[in-house]
Amino acid sequence: MYLDFYRAFGISVDLALEAHEIVRGETGKEIPGVIVDREKYENSSVTIVKVVEESAEQLIGKPRGNYITIEAPAIRDNNRIAQQEVTEVLAEKLAALIKLPENANILLVGLGNWQATPDALGPRVIDHSMVTRHLYKYAPEELQGGMRSVSAIAPGVLGITGIETAEIIKGVVEKIQPELLIVIDSLAAGSTERIATTIQIADTGISPGSGIGNKRAGINKESMGVDVIAIGVPTVVHAAVIAQTAIDQFLEQLKANPVLYQIYRNLRPDFTQEVINNVLKPFAGNLMVTPKEIDTLILNTSKIVAGGISMAIHPSISSEDYEMYLN
């Protein structure tokens, strides 16, 4: 049911964990070619989805690779202890994917529109990131052991620059020749519960705007000529998903009244889809929803992501040193 629903509304699933859950829910079986591992922490949980076969790529719509999802609902409650734990877990999982020497050159890319808060995660992470490439040339005495050469850009979006984001990044890559790209972007979730409570790390790159229907050139090893790790946080949910979820919960309540439930069961199979289409018609079916406190959520999650990245790529830097270099 849900596979057909997502296809009918042209909704892409950014989180590999959700894509796996949808397909597994449809079949009722484990998906061949997908390996799932889970870990539990005090204030968070981690699910690692590994897509290892081509057949699995087609089933869940994700290229082969590793997708690490950190879930911590306490982030949204502004729980500082949980935020620190997530930062450390993110750093640990990201560091395990970075197999580079200490003198490696890394480029951070903050995707998104800094003028639109739900899409501003990438640029905000860049604001809080610890860049060091300039120190190697102009202030080498400030460097400590275990600090890699890191540069960062927030290239904006096509509507602001008139240039495809991938073209801008490719030009910078050709100029500074990094060994790794770490790309940060806002994602679309399949549940309101995941907004600003979930972080995905993927070693497969990213397609900017795919979750909201904006197909852009992919940023991955094939297009950039260098390894790409993508980090994303859901900040919006498609309105059609919220509407369908509300209808499903309403039907669960109707089951207590067999007469009313049977009336609904006798309606056309595409009845709810038609209703949702009519409601979303003024927006051409493409309406995204975000919470009113999204500015605070973006601020909190951007600090978590930036801190986790800095801890992973500068393993010898303490949290105190991290704050000093930012200032």
What pLDDT, on the 0 to 100 scale, is given for residue 319? 62
C-beta separation of 125 from 79 below 8 A: no
Share of the chain above pLDDT 90, in %: 53
Gap between the Cα atoms of 105 and 181, Å rounded: 9
How far is CA 128 from its chain centroid? 18
pLDDT tens-place string over residues 240-260: 999 888 888 888 887 778 877
Domain ranges of the chain: 2-14+103-241+284-317
For residue 40, the surrounding DSSP H or E stretch is strand 34-40
Gap between the Cα atoms of 63 and 52, Å rounded: 9
Who has greater pLDDT, 18 or 262? 18
CA dihedral sign of residues 17, 185, 62, 7: positive
Selection from 59-63, 154-158, 195-199, 206-210 with the highest mean pLDDT: 195-199
Angle at the Cα of 279 from the Cα atoms of 253 and 276, rounded to 5 degrees:
50
Selection from 14-18, 67-71, 248-252 with the highest mean pLDDT: 67-71
Closest by Cα among 169, 170, 105 to 131: 105
Where is average pLDDT lowest: 46-60, 199-213, 246-260?
199-213
Amino acid, res. 44: S
Average of per-residue pLDDT across 76-84: 89
Amino acid, res. 231: I
C-beta separation of 196 from 297 below 8 A: yes
Both tokens of 45, joined, read 């949980």
Q: For strand 65-71 and strand 105-111, is the pairing parallel, antiparallel, or unpaired? A: unpaired
Phi-psi region of 205 (alpha: psi -120 to 50; beta: other; left: phi over 0): left
Q: Which residues pair with 40 in a beta bridge?
A: 45
Query: Domain 2-14+103-241+284-317 belongs to what architecture?
Result: 3-Layer(aba) Sandwich (3.40)
What pLDDT, on the 0 to 100 scale, is given for residue 211? 45
pLDDT value at 133 more than 90: no
Q: What is the pTM of this model?
A: 0.89
Gap between the Cα atoms of 73 and 67, Å rounded: 19
Both tokens of 63, joined, read 């290229």
C-beta separation of 120 from 160 below 8 A: no
C-beta separation of 68 from 37 below 8 A: no
pLDDT value at 45 more than 80: yes
